[in-house]
Structures are given as C-alpha cells and as structure tokens.
Structure 1
Amino acid sequence: MIPQVYFIALVFGIHIVAVNLGIALSTIIPLLKRKADLTRNERLDGIAKGIFRIYAAIYAIAGVMGTAFTVFLLSFYPEFIGIAGNITLLPFGIAILSILVHFLAIVLYYYGWDSFPRWAHLSSGILLAITAYTIPLGFRLVFAFLNTPAGLKIDGKPYIDAFEALANPTFAPLYLKSIFGAITFGSLFISALSAYRIARERSEESSQIYSTSLRIAVIGTFIMLILGPWYSMSLISTPMKFNNIFRSFGWGLGGVETVDMSWLFLIKIILIAVQIYAILRLMFGNVNFKLSALATTSAAFTILTGEYLNMFSQYPYFLANLPIVADKIPEPWRTVLGRALYLENVSPLANDPTLLSITALGIAILLAAIGYFIYETLIKGE
C-alpha cells in the first residue's frame, strides 16, 4: 500500500475510537445526571460531571483527528473529494449538520449543568444523545455506498437517490454494528473507571455504576456476536470485499480479489475472544480493575481492527464494487469515477518525498500534543 494510505489510516483510527467512546458517553452521562436529579444524589451528580469532563476531552481529540483526516483526504485525493462530495451530499449533510448541533448541545449541557432548569438541561442532554447517533448515520450511509453504490443515479451528473441508499444491503448491519459496538466499548470503559474508583474508595454509587455498565456490556457483546456475522453476510453484495476477507478461509465468491485481509480478520477474532474472556471473568468474579482495563482495551482494538478491515478490504478502490459496476456507468463518468475512486491515484504533490517527510513530522507533533493534552486534562488532575 502507498504511504499516504497509512497516514490516513493512523489519524482515522484514533478518530474512530474516540468517536465510538463519545457515542456511548453522550448516552450514559444524561442518564446518570437524570438519576442524580431524581434521587437528589449529589455524589452521583459529581460522578456524572466528572465523566462529562472526560467526554469533552475525548470529543476534542476526535475533532482534531477528524480534521486531520479531512485535510489528508483533501490533500491526497482532491479529485475523489470533488466527486464524492457531490454524489454523497445528502448523507454528508446529515453528518455535518449533526456535528454542529452536537457541539451546541455539549456547550449547553456543560454551562447549563447547575444553572438551567432541570427540564431545559435534560432537553440539551437528549439533544446531545440524539445527535451522537445521527452523526454516524450520515457517515455510515457513505461507507455503505462505498461498499456497493445502491441508489447511484446519473442524470447529467451522478447523485444518490436517498430512499434507495437507505435500502443498501450493507447499511443497516453496518450502522447497528457501529452503534452497539460503541455502547459496548463505552460501557466497558465506564466499568473500568468505576473499578478504579472502587479500588481507591468504595462507594455505593460507583458499585452500582460498575455493575450496571458491566451488564450493558454483556448484552452489547452478545448483540455484536449477531450483528458481526450479519454484516459479513451482507458483504456478499460486495464480492471483492468478501473475497479479500474470507477467501483464505475457504469462503469465496466468483469475482475480483485484490488483497488478502484474512490476517486482520483473524486478529479481530482474537481480540473479541479476549474481550469475552475478560467479561466472563468479571461477571463471575469480584471487581477487578486490571480485567476491566483488559476488556476495555480489547474492545477498543476490536473497533479499530474492524474499521481498518472495512477500509482496506476494498483496496485499491474507494468504491469496492467499482470493477463490477463500471460497465454500467456511461461515459464520461465511467472514466472520471474510475480515476477518482482509485486509492493509488493521489495528487502529484502528495508523492513528493519532502512533503511526505513533513507530513510524518506533523503527525508525530500532533500525537505528542494529544498525549500531553490527555496527561494535563485527565491524568495530572486526577
């Protein structure tokens, strides 16, 4: 693979893990705050506010890495962005609008914590949670389209028919898998935080949060064991992607195969096994911070490997079904899309060795800054 792909993968990987954790926390925090208000439990209120502080830091990291990902795409693949931006305007619009409203909800929820009436603060919390789910809704529509271009119409220029795009065979399992994976990961993260607090100072609130989040993680893991195979089977509509992942295991379809990604799928399966092992130990044992941290870490890397598997299993194309659907696309769009949707068709400037070195240095500085930010905001104060 060309080096530009690795740069994009690195920043996207950090972004997507932070985003998944954010989806869960933006759901859990309003629920904890609501319970604290109803029971007038100031200690629980303090815990919820502390978790919100963590979420704000995670959202900042997700935003920075998401911006870096966008800048890399614009710099390396200007032709792809120009074409894809027009074709997928509707789903991108849903995601961008949701991001803006979500940021507004974060501001309102934070500054209204002790100053808004309870109904108003709860309303901003509901808005926070809803937009956390509509952001990935838009992006998963784009990812499903890149699996197989359901809804692609060409009437003078390419565009997406929204209703046909929603019927994309890979959209529903991909979106649901993302949501339940995020909730599972976030629940394990909260259980690890609670286990850490319990190890330092046992409290009824921390114990309740720990047991509840662990139960949610168990349910989420079980659901993921259903959604994962469902998404894998939906990839039958994308033969090249299916073959790249599964042909080495003896499951293949007729069609194109470009790169063997079975090794990454195997790593993901091992991580899932580690996660299940840790959760089972936690279910039938005492509170254990190390096991909780292991379950959380394996869940994070499961999400990461899953996203990389989804990205790279269609290499070298942005659109996995491009070789199959190319003959159905009229000229000149067949040539235009064939060039724009080819991952190795990077901007000529992006291949300059000096610029690649500067890019690598910039990423190193960015990662160092994020590490320092995490230390200052989450570790040093604690």
Structure 2
Amino acid sequence: MAFDFATPVERRHPEGGYASQKWHRYDAEVLPLWVADMDFRSPPAVVDALKARVEHGVYGYGEVPATLTAALCQWSARHYDWPIDADWQLWLPGVVPALHFAAMALTQPGEGVLTIAPIYPPFLAVAERTGRLAQQAMLAEPAAAGEPWQLDIDALEAAITPQTRLLLWCHPHNPTGRVWREDELSQLAELIERHDLWVVSDELHCDLLLDKDACHRPLAAMFPELAKRTITLWAPSKTFNLAGLTSACAIIPDAALRKCFAAATKGFLPDGNVLGLVAAEAAYRNGESWRQALLEVLREHRVSLEARVASWPGVALSPPESTYLAWLDMRQAGLGDSPAKALLEQVGVALSDGAAFGCPGFVRLNFGTTASQLEAALVRMDRLLKA
C-alpha cells in the first residue's frame, strides 16, 4: 500500500478547531519544527479503527483489553526479541507521568534522582516536582564534527552520591538521536548494579531507528539481571503520531516493583483513554507497513538536513541514528546566547531551545514533516545562517 507523506496536512484550522501545541503556539507566519509531533496522518489502520470505535457512540470508562496486551507482547517478541508477559504491562496516559510516579514510588523526599544531559526537558523537572534531590551528569560531546555524542561513564560515576537512588535513562536518546552501543550499555548496567540503583528506561523512540536493519534491544532484555530494578517505558505516540491520544505502557517484570509503582499512581491518573487504547492496538497490529514507509521518508529527510547543515558556517550536527529529531550545535553560528530565539524572531522558524535540555547554544529540529514544509523552513534558515 502506498502512503502519502508528501501532502501537507492543514493543522492551523481557520477557526482553531484542530488546536495543536505545535502549530498554534506561534503566529501564523511561523514554521514550527519544534515539539516532537509529526505532521503526517497516522496509519490508515489506526484511523479506521478509531472511526469504528467512534461510530459505536458510547465512550464510558474503559479497560485495557487483553487483545491490546497480547498485541504488545507480540510486537516485543518480533521487534525486540524480548518475550514479555501481559501481566508486566501497566498502561498509562503518557510517559511523563510515569517518570514522576517512578520517583515517588522508588525514592524518598530528599533522595537523588539522576539524569544525564542533554535530555528531554521533563527529565530535568522530575526531582524538583517530586521533592527529590536533582542530580545531573553530562554526556561527552562529539570529538569532531559529525561524530556521535558519547556516554561518559566516569562523569556519571562522579555524579552518584550516597543519596542517589534512581537513574532516568533515555534509550534511544532524545535529543541527540544516539542509539547506544552494547559496550556503553554494558558499562551502564555494571554501574547500576554496583550502586544499587533503580532505573527508568524511556524507550519511546525505539521503533524509529534510522539505520537499515538496526534492531532495538531494551535495556532490561540485554541485561536480565537489571529486570528486577527496571521500569521500561514504551508508547506508540512517536512512532505512529498518536501523542494526543495519551496511551503509554510501563513494562515491569518484577512483581514487587510493579505493585509499588501501581500503588503510587492510585488516585492521580484517569482511567485509560478508550480511543487511545484502540489506536495503540491498531498501530501494533497493523501499522508495520506504514512504519517502514515512514522510516524511508525520515532517512531521506536526514540526508537533506545533513547536506544543509554542511552549508551553514558555525553549525554542527551529529546525524541522528534514531527518531525524527536533530540536535544542532549553534554555539559558533553567531546568533547570540539563544539561537532558537534568533531563528524565531529573524526568520520565523520555531525550534526547541537547547537550554531547556541542559545545553544552551543548541537547538532541536523536528524533521518529521513533509519535504516541502521542511524545505521551506530550511530556506528561511539559510537566510540567517549563510549570511
């Protein structure tokens, strides 16, 4: 089946009927390439499943159906070579709440929650919001232009104190796009065990590996000894563009840990989004051909973006190995302390400010849009960055 990833979808409805954070935060003349929200229609199988559920006409309190948990078990076995049980799954309205509930369930006020920057901004807010001690290490910057960011295991070790109890990990990594190598993960696993840490592994972008034939391996699957101390977070939201339907899943093999985490959520979360659960099942059951077509588009966009960055003096890019997010170093581009602000104000392109990720001078660019929309934004950026 052919899928249309080329035709722009009108997301700025004239009357605001399809209000979106991405397209309505800024004025109408701004081109938004910021929040991790693609501009592609979700898979037809998902749309058809939602239409059928809407047609039913009754949207009462739902339950997580056994057909959904079975679909995710099958997806994990097929794509990650990790047989999981349906009982391990706790479905939630999003990954960000799960990060916070993990901190509340697994640590006490004043204990340390460790993150590694640059990182998706909600990671950096978990400790403060839950009354825990914020701790942070930094990744190692690329040794040369075009090379990847690296896990600095020594910096991570140095950031750990007797108060450290929980590591928030991102695998693959947002915003750098890194797919961690086995040797890096092996060092990480040894450190987690030695310091007796809990770990939350946010694997939200794991189905968008851009190198052909690349396969994701969950942290808890690669190192079974970590399973008893690991909460793995998955969702169809990024892969299938379902973010607004708020369905995510915590995979927790250890029964005691699962019970502890579930108890922390009681009274704080609504029941499952009935449409989100339908969409998730349709995506995992029937979305694979669409996903493969999407990956081809994203690979092409990555190539286009790499070529463009090469023409911008003072801008560096480590090509992302996963997802549709590019992490650009603009510290030498002559745009001042906030390149994101300069691009927004001077050429009307909205990118995510690296300061929110713990790295001022960087920006995150979302290339999960049509080729024409991406090119229009890059032409605008040319006017400032080639000057």
Higher helix share: 1
Bigger proportion of residues as strand: 2
* TM-score bin (small chain): under 0.3
The answer to which structure, 1 or 2, has the higher relative contact order (CA under 8 A, 6+ apart) is 2
Bigger radius of gyration, 1 or 2?
Answer: 1
Give TM-score scaled by structure 2 length: 0.26
